[in-house]
Amino acid sequence: MKMLRTDFKNMLRDSVGRHGLSPAELQRLGRRAERCLAELKEERAKGRCPFLNLPYQKETAGEIKRIDRELRSWVKDFVVLGIGGSALGNIALHQALNPPYIGGHESPRIHVIDTIDPDLFDGLLKSLDLRHTAFNVISKSGTTVETVAQFLIVRERLKDSLGSTYPRHIITTTDPEDGDLRRLAEREGYRRLFIPKGVGGRYSVLSPVGLLSAAVSGINIDELLAGAAGMDKRCQKEAMEENPAMLGACLQYLSYKRGRHITVIMPYSSALEAVGEWFCQLWAESLGKKSSLKGKVIHCGPTPVRAVGPTDQHSQLQLYMEGPFDKIITFVAVERFKAQVEIPQSPEANFQYLSGHTLAGLMAAERRGTELALAEAGRPSYTIYLPELSAFYVGGLLYMFQVQTALAGKLFGINPFDQPGVEAGKAHTSTLLGKDKGTL
Ligand code: PA5
């Protein structure tokens, strides 16, 4: 079976000259990364870092499949209400695995609404037949203002149009013990799913947060989890060449230390554009920290930027080629696209070079051409090859990025699981809105 692999030769001095990394420094860092991995394994054994165990939740997967079967008999639209880590993973999965324009499947339409834009929200609600709509309210804390506001509006409209049967239309996904949403869901009799204790938003895509809407949209969640479990095995290996998460963490960390503070993620696949967006949140919120674990003020963190190929060859690439030497680029290549679209023979002499090629071949040539041009300009990049866009490989890719982030956090000496900066903003917003300390 083919596996996800990473080609990092264009990160090295041999390919990109003085802006590249030397194999010796990478090896030295590898020894430190091995110790970080050992620490992560130890924490896992003690029950910390529970996101690492998400691929193995058989019972939860069973419960989600049961809910999915029931919903399918009456739901035409399935709406996720949530934001940040409670939405981006869902969007990433749907975009990656439910390509648009391909009809013929019976699954409900999925809408992931990670905004409170009034026009968008009102427009969506007015477009829905509420009798055939289910809402999945996702909030780990159960207090996030955007999600709470969305929920209150939805509940009111459901009550108005459906009367006392409205609770059937709401499924909450929240903390198993804490939070206002959990208490309210219990009191009002909604169906409830729980995010395992200690799994934070941006590490929760493989928990009920991402799994329910995935299942409802027809994604095979067993395959998704199997891919993640397979990747878990690889991410436990000590040798950097065998462990894609450790390799990624080391390449990223060393580049940052060498002044390349911007990291661009550029999949050559429209389906993976939202995986780029999800990765940016994971990377930024996990690694952008003021203080080290030792309490020293360090203000560290790479700035993630998303791009998509080939579209951004005609937008961002000029900057990456000739701008400041402050970036590295992670390409994500899909080795086998589903559709084989041939470019036909052309009677026009100037276009004949394209004849006989496929769009996938053109995509690969453009990516490789870009990699080569960047390397010639002394710009480091590396490429993650995904054998195909299936639930198995996408599950593995997302899991790998999460482990890479946890390991990078250790290399940076920070806590990659908290987000004090985000919490501060949330607190100010609540104060501005006059929230007092009521409990449900
Ligand atoms: O990754 C995170 O922890 C955050 O992005 C949260 O997911 C986001 O702030 C939403 O929080 P909650 O799920 O508690 O509503």
Q: What percent of the chain has pLDDT over 70?
A: 98
Average pLDDT over the chain, rounded to an integer: 95
Q: Which atom of ligand 1 is nearest to the CA of 285?
A: 1
83 Cβ closer than 6 Å to some ligand 1 atom: yes
pLDDT for position 326: 97
> Which residue of 88, 140, 405, 426 sits with most ligand 1 atoms within 8 Å of its CB, as the best mutation to test the pocket?
140
Q: How far does residue 304's CA lie from ligand 1's centre (Å)? A: 18
Q: Is the pLDDT of residue 436 over 70?
A: no
Pick the residue whose CA is nearest to atom 15 on ligand 1: 139
Which amino acid appears at position 182 of this protein? Answer: R
Q: pLDDT for 275-322, tens place per residue?
A: 999 999 999 999 999 999 999 999 999 999 999 999 999 999 999 999
- Classify residue 123 by burial, with Cβ atoms within 10 Å: 0-12, 13-18, 19+: exposed
How many angstroms separate the CA atoms of 300 and 72, rounded? 46
CA of 270 to the centre of ligand 1 (A): 26
Q: How close is the Cα of 21 to the center of ligand 1, in Å?
A: 35
Q: What number of other Cβ atoms are within 10 A of residue 97's Cβ?
A: 21
pLDDT recorded at residue 428 = 83
Nearest CA to ligand 1 atom 8: 84
* Strand order from edge to edge, sheet including 303-306: 5-7, 381-388, 327-336, 262-268, 303-306
pLDDT band at 103 (very low <50, low <70, confident <90, very high): low
More confident: 440 or 393:
393
The highest-confidence range among 38-42, 176-180, 343-347, by mean pLDDT, is 38-42
CB 382 within 8 A of CB 8: yes
Residues 44-91 pLDDT 10s: 999 999 999 999 999 999 999 999 999 999 999 999 999 999 999 999
The arithmetic mean of pLDDT across residues 15-38, rounded, is 96
pLDDT of 437: 56
Instruction: Quote the CA–CA distance of 374 and 320 in Å, as a whole number.
Output: 8
Q: Please state the pTM of the whole predicted model.
A: 0.96
Whether 393 and 341 have beta carbons less than 8 Å apart is answered as no
Domains within the chain, CATH numbers bracketed: 5-42+224-421 (3.40.50.10490), 51-221 (3.40.50.10490)
> Has residue 179 got a pLDDT over 90?
no
- pLDDT (tens digit per residue) in 366-390: 999 999 999 999 999 999 999 999 9
Mind spelling out the 3-state secondary structure of the chain?
CCCCEEECHHHEHHHHHHHCECHHHHHHHHHHHHHHHHHHHHHHHCCCCHHHHHHHCHHHHHHHHHHHHHHHCCCCEEEEECCHHHCHHHHHHHHHHCCCCCCCCCCCEEEEECCCCHHHHHHHHHHCCHHHEEEEEEECCCCCHHHHHHHHHHHHHHHHHHHHHHHHHEEEEECCCCCHHHHHHHHHCCEEEECCCCCCHHHCCCCHHHHHHHHHCCCCHHHHHHHHHHHHHHCCCCCHHHCHHHHHHHHHHHHHHCCCCEEEEEEECHHHHHHHHHHHHHHHHHHCEEECCCCCEEEECCEEEECCCCHHHHCCHHHHHHCCCCEEEEEEEEEECCCCCECCCCCCHHHHHHCCCEHHHHHHHHHHHHHHHHHHCCCCEEEEEEEECCHHHHHHHHHHHHHHHHHHHHHHCCCCCCCHHHHHHHHHHHHHCCCCCCCC
Residue 132: how many CB atoms within 10 A of its CB? 13
Q: Which residue has the tokens 């809105």?
A: 433
What pLDDT score does 105 carry?
62
Residue of 314, 310, 348 lying closest to 331 (CA atoms): 310
Give the pLDDT confidence score for residue 427 in this predicted structure.
79
Number of neighbours of residue 170 by Cβ within 10 angstroms: 22
Binding site membership of 201 for ligand 1 (Cβ less than 6 Å):
yes
Lookup result for tokens 């710009």:
379
pLDDT at res. 20:
97
Token couple for 46: 């003690």
Q: What is the pLDDT of residues 249-263, one digit of tens each?
A: 999 999 999 999 999
Is residue 220 exposed (0-12), middle (13-18) or buried (19+ Cβ within 10 Å)? Answer: middle
Asked if 159 and 120 touch (Cβ cutoff 8 Å), the reply is no
**CA distance linking residue 414 with residue 110, whole number of Å:** 36
Judge contact between 268 and 386, C-beta under 8 A: no
Q: Considering Cα of 202, then 204, then 209, then 212, what sign does the dihedral take? A: positive
Q: What is the pLDDT of residue 423?
A: 79
pLDDT at 99: 81
Q: What is the pLDDT of residue 417?
A: 96
- Candidate from 80, 116, 144 with most ligand 1 atoms within 8 A of CB, to mutate: 144
Q: What is the pLDDT of residue 100?
A: 81
Per-residue confidence (pLDDT) for residue 101, from 0 to 100:
77
Residue 104 confidence (pLDDT): 56
pLDDT tens digits along 323-372: 999 999 999 999 999 999 999 999 999 999 999 999 999 999 999 999 99
pLDDT for 440 beyond 60 = no
Atom of ligand 1 nearest to the CA of 179: 14
Structural tokens at position 434:
């006059």
